[in-house]
Amino acid sequence: MTVRAPLTTLECAVEFVLFVREDGYTALRAATPDGAALTAVGAQLAGARPGEGLRLTGRWGEHRRHGAQFAVEECERRPPAGVPAIRRYLGSGLVRGVGPLLAQAITERFGEDTLEIIDRVPGRLSEVYGIGERRTRRITESWQAQKTIKELMSLLRGYGLSPLLAEPIHRVFGHESLKTVAREPYSMVGEVDGLAFAAADRIALQAGGALDDPARLEAAVWEVCAVRARRAGHCHLPAEQAVLEAAALTEQDPALLREAAERLTVGRGAPLSAEQHPATGEPLLAPRALRRAENKLARALALLAAAPSDLPEPVRRRVAAGQFGDGLHPGQREAVRMALTHPVSVITGGPGCGKSHTVREIVELVRAGGGSVTLAAPTGKAARRLSELTGARAVTVHRLAADPTAGEDGEEALFGPRTTMVHLIVIDEASMLDVHLAARLAAAIPPGTHLLLVGDIDQLPSVGPGCVLADVLRVPAVPRTELTHVFRQAQDSTITANAHRIRAGQPPELRRADFWFAEMDDPAQIARTVVQIATERLPAKLGADPADVQVLCPTRRGAAGTLELGRLLQDRRNPRQDNEPEYWSGSRVFRVGDRVMAARNDYAKGAAGVFNGTLGTVVDLDLKDGALAVLTDDGEQVDYDFAQLDELIHAYAVSVHKAQGSEFPHVVAPLTLDAPALLTRSLLYTLVTRARRTVVLVGQPRALRQALENPGPARNTLLAHALAAQLDAAADPD
């Protein structure tokens, strides 16, 4: 029988944070009043800041790797005691406008009264040199926001929820946050990242809400139809499936959920659309915005397909006469002819089949005939790679749809006068297009311009909802060419050969110099091995820079997911340094030197915007102004406010989905059965094709078999039906 250590209460001040888990479990270093150091762990510590005073109740224990730890069961937070602690607290990045130097100046002026001055008479901050009216206002607003966040944390703890939800809630609802949590918790469903129906439901029910509250039932339907369905890539759900899932969530009669679903579809501003499947007549529920996007995209593509071509006459003559591409494979020649004959067309094919070379021939042919071409891809990385492969300038699809000068130098793309229009637009990596982005792009292209989609439908579908490329290919009226011939140079690559084997559902050839599978079963051991291979063994063997080795994961969670592996890799490649600044945002810590990736599009950043998938390195961390600077791999420096850090993810380990459109010299990837539903053939195929020189898989043989045998779930979309109907109507206007 194990004897538990007795409960102990102690006072301490936080020195620095060691680790924060997504559920709020935190490890930190602290010092007692007599100067003794200790490591404290527990969920009650979430949100603690350097300098903050804590009164902890818990038990001493021994961790097999980290030694003595104080496991916290209760935590009472107290203001920092003493000027040094106040200075550390203010200078930690907690309060915008105050960094370590200004914190020192403020505490030198006000001493132990500093926090009371900021809280009650902030106007006195102007007594400190360098603090004017604008900075005083900034400090005051930030201080009040932190007070609200602390109250939110306490409130969330009371409901048994992670206090780390406080900051995302405050970002969305601001000064209304406390009222929203207390009075309208269901309004947060679908609005706050990381807050699902179950969290809002816990708050409402503990506050005395009724099980059949209409707001509760409607929030459950919205969670199923919008939040969960969108996460799975669906544009709609069968109505009965949605009702039954919502009924299971709420444990209520499905009849009540049907009524809730109907309420969400009534009126012009209703968030859901109710309709019937055009082929089966089955009732459907869909977020109205997604249905609008699908219909908008179908109309735009049909309009482009029916319009007379504006290609210059010399181009059309050469194509008709077959005066192009003497060195092309017959499949490539057919692809060139198709793209320059039909206003909307698709080129598909696997790796090594010459898609990029075909695009280059098309570009050269159009330009030689006096036409203009714009190349684009969904991410900056993919656009840069397209430019390198074709020798032509390429931009992101987002920029193409948003920026009227995104075309060739000196021309106005899309929105310009007809005399300066782009004659051909090529979208590479088209499998990455979600329905919203594709609709926005297609609607911006003037009729007469040719649109060529290039992609590989065996890759993972888009991160966002829909499967645009596959849906377009389901419409027989859309011209397409599949390139199947694998060229000799590509045949010599084990990676390319294995990619085609995986594409066909066949096991890859393992234990080659450039393609290796290290078999082991324990996920924790798999994670440690991945870290060792990525940071030590592979760089030593190949003489490679560790920065050229990218870890890709099928899932975010688990011992070998991006969250845990990213933390381990960060600790190895960019560990905490004494006297160097760092900033904790939720469960993540940012340091100078960190590899990061943009997780969202931001058109206002940089010269041409920063887009999802952009990679970079943190080059500055300003605790005073509450911002960090990222030098992107494109050589541009962009700033992120601390409140915008949810737009960045650490890039030490990223999901395969996030890596779409990118290529890396060397890829190391764990394969475990922690999330078997995510192990699909398209995921494995996408993973392998991200590597140029080396692939190392580490994991369970059963996981590899699972991925090969599972083609992946289909997505619920109506684009193919809508596009076919629009094309039929255009072909037969009567």
From 454, 442, 446, 441, select the one nearest 412 (Cα to Cα).
446
From 91, 130, 95, select the one nearest 107 (Cα to Cα).
91
Q: Tell me: is residue 353 an annotated ligand-binding position.
A: yes
8 Å CB contact between 641 and 626 = yes
Q: What is the C-alpha to C-alpha distance for residues 505 and 491, in angstroms, rounded to an integer?
A: 18
From 151, 230, 195, select the one nearest 184 (Cα to Cα).
195
Burial class (CB in 10 A: 0-12, 13-18, 19+), 159: middle
8 Å CB contact between 358 and 455 = no
Q: What is the C-alpha to C-alpha distance for residues 375 and 393, in angstroms, rounded to an integer?
A: 7
3-class DSSP state for residue 688?
A: helix
Q: What is the C-alpha to C-alpha distance for residues 78 and 516, in angstroms, rounded to an integer?
A: 54
Q: What is the C-alpha to C-alpha distance for residues 388 and 373, in angstroms, rounded to an integer?
A: 16
Count Cβ atoms below 10 Å from residue 178 Cβ, excluding itself.
Answer: 16
Could you tell me the sign of the dihedral formed by the alpha carbons of 650, 653, 659, 663, in that order? positive
Q: What is the C-alpha to C-alpha distance for residues 223 and 245, in angstroms, rounded to an integer?
A: 10
Give the phi and the psi of residue 36 in degrees, each rounded to 5: -75, 135
287: β partners = 272
Q: What is the C-alpha to C-alpha distance for residues 346 and 387, in angstroms, rounded to an integer?
A: 19
Q: Tell me: is residue 606 an annotated ligand-binding position.
A: no
8 Å CB contact between 428 and 454 = yes
From 9, 14, 19, 46, select the one nearest 157 (Cα to Cα).
46
Strand ordering across the sheet containing 272-276: 237-238, 283-287, 272-276
Q: What is the C-alpha to C-alpha distance for residues 602 and 234, in angstroms, rounded to an integer?
A: 25
Q: Tell me: is residue 179 an annotated ligand-binding position.
A: no
Q: Which residues does 448 contact at the CB level (< 8 Å), separation at least 6?
A: 307, 308, 309, 310, 343, 421
Q: Tell me: is residue 354 an annotated ligand-binding position.
A: yes
Q: Which residues does 709 contact at the CB level (< 8 Å), separation at least 6?
A: 505, 681
In this structure, what DSSP letter does residue 713 have? P
Q: Tell me: is residue 356 an annotated ligand-binding position.
A: yes
Which residue ranges are tagged as binding site for ATP? 352-356
Which residue ranges are tagged as binding site? 352-356
